[in-house]
Every structure is written in structure tokens, then in C-alpha cells.
Amino acid sequence: MSLAALAVSTVGFSGCGGGKKSPRGVVKFGGTATYDGKPLPAGVMIMFTPDGGRQSAATVTENGAFYAKYTTAEDGVEHGALKVTVGWDEEMSGALPEDFAGLIKGYATDADALQITVDKANTEYALDFPKK
């Protein structure tokens, strides 16, 4: 299963059957994402993982824009500390532009994740993945 399909299925399955509400609460969450100051290309998958919570996912659109999905029926992320990782599905999106090869290599696992904190008041975010 491709990384993008896995991310979509994770979000999709978490929305089936109504599930429990997040004890932390979910806030709508989106913004722009860059790598070394350049907008991420459309098709990059961004995963937001809270410690002990439900993962949310977003697919980057034009100019690095993203909006997270918590479940198939609910937008957003659990607020609080999140690990942010990225993925790319070459079958779905074609070859990743060469300028972004280090992005996937540098931020693909929880050990390499970008660490952010999302509060209830700040739901628009500028994610910048620095070159490693």
C-alpha cells in the first residue's frame, strides 16, 4: 500500500462508525507549508500525530496550501503537541521535484518529525520544514 493510500485510509477508518470524540478537542487547522522557504509542491502528504491521539492528514494543494482532515466527516487536528511528518506517492503524483528530495528523507518518520504545538486560538499555521 502506498504512503498516500495509507494516510487516506487512516483518516478514512478513523471516521467510520462515529468513533469517540477526542479528549483534547479538535480544531480546524490549515495554512501553508514550505521546505527551506519554498512552497511545498501539490501532492505532498502531511501527517499530524499527537502523542496517544488520532492522526490527522492533509494533502498539499497549490502554493503549499494545506487543510487537515481529522476524520472523513471532520476537519482539523487535535490541539496540543504534534509530530509532523511528510510523504510522497510517486504513483499518484509523479516524480517529486528535485528541490524537495531532502524533505521526504528528512521528515518521513516520527524520529525525524517537525514538532509543533497547536492551540485553540491559532488555527492558521505556516509550517516551515528547514533543510537538514
Q: In this predicted model, what pLDDT tens digit does every residue of 39-83 receive, in sequence order?
A: 999 999 999 999 989 999 999 999 999 999 999 999 999 999 999
- Reference 50, options 25, 30, 75; nearest CA is 25
Decide: pTM greater than 0.85: no
Q: How far apart are CA 3 and CA 21, in angstroms?
A: 26
Reduce the DSSP state of residue 115 to 3 states and report it: strand
Q: How far apart are CA 3 and CA 8, in angstroms?
A: 9
Residue 52 has what DSSP assignment? T
Residue 123, all three cell numbers: 488555527
Looking at residue 17, what is its pLDDT?
A: 38
Output Rg (C-alpha) for the chain, integer angstroms. 14
Class of domain 3-17+24-129: mainly beta
